[in-house]
Chain A
């Protein structure tokens, strides 16, 4: 068992860090106020962008696999850095889904906020996001 644990430490999944300027980022398509951008970065971008701030334990296996599978799934659902690659219709759907996951509230995941205490959203944060998404949905064409 110990041996297996030792061996898998050397099998590390690829890191989610593009380091490139995100030309398709949501902030290039929609106006994102500073306050909203701050919340997105702190609470969403680790799993929903091309750049994760990795915690120390994510370098130890098997946690690394677990973390990387979460990031893969999160990005496939919604990637703020690639928002511009979605069709207009899909962007609108994503904004709606962001709003409902914030309202319900299913996001950010409890397993994430358990460790990332800063990512917890206050009632005011949620309010800000909801107001912003509502505004963006209403201004997008052919609603």
Chain B
């Protein structure tokens, strides 16, 4: 009897160790990305929204490759970037736009990060999220960085979808590898 109890206890401990081991790695990962985001967000001369836009672009690029895992990861970074943004560094107009979109954008990013394995759902949220990010990008001068606002007329049964890109060439995040170059640029931000 003692033996049985002992082995049960041992296996429970072992299981606990396994799960907590996993957790530490993901926690370590999270804090890693937290660190990099902080590092990216802080340096003087860089836009306060830089980490946020980087995370968005990372998400967009994952979707162009039909990669739902990477999209989920990027979603997580985006949630973090929204949470830790240095609001004091935003100018009045940015600050207004940010507070207008923050809760909405964060929720979309959370859904995307929780929707691994369901890329269609990730894209649904990405569509509205892109509109949020647009509000922020259109008023901000991003030093040394050019961004583009692109439109895909075919997405969502012809309703269309927009996205922000760092490349002049079209890489479609809605249709992915099926139609990588569908769409056109509709606005340029300097």
**Which of A14-22, A31-39, A88-96, A124-132 lies on the face that meets chain B?**
A88-96
- Kindly supply a per-residue 1/0 record for chain B positions 97-109, scoring 1 wherever the CB is within 8 Å of any chain A CB and 0 otherwise: 0001101100110
- Within 8 Å CB of B100, what residues of A? 87, 89
User: B104 to A89, Cβ gap below 8 A?
Assistant: yes
Within 8 A of A (CB), among B101-144: 101, 103-104, 107-108, 124, 128, 132
In Å, the complex CA distance between A36 and B135 comes to 32
In the complex, the answer to whether A90 meets B124 with C-beta atoms within 8 Å is: no
Instruction: List B contacts of A87 (CB < 8 A).
Output: 100, 103-104
Number of interface residues of B (CB under 8 A): 9
State which residues 46-100 of A face B: CB under 8 Å: 87, 89-90, 92-93, 96-97, 100
Q: How many A-B residue pairs have CB under 8 A?
A: 19
- What residues of chain B have their CB less than 8 Å away from a CB belonging to chain A? 100-101, 103-104, 107-108, 124, 128, 132
Beyond A93-B104, A96-B128, 7 additional pairs, beta carbon < 8 A: A87-B100, A87-B103, A89-B100, A89-B104, A90-B103, A96-B124, A100-B124
Tell me how far the C-beta of A76 lies from the nearest C-beta in chain B, rounded to whole angstroms.
Answer: 10
Contact at A93–B124, with CB atoms within 8 Å? Answer: no
Of all chain B residues, which has the CB nearest A100?
B124
Contact A89 B132 (CB under 8 A): yes
> Which B residues are in CB contact (< 8 Å) with A93?
104, 107-108, 128
Inter-chain contacts of A100 with B (CB < 8 A): 124
B110 to chain A, nearest CB (A): 10
Determine the distance from Cα of A87 to Cα of B101 in the docked complex, in whole angstroms.
9
Inter-chain contacts of A92 with B (CB < 8 A)? 128
Residues of B within 8 A of A96 (CB): 124, 128
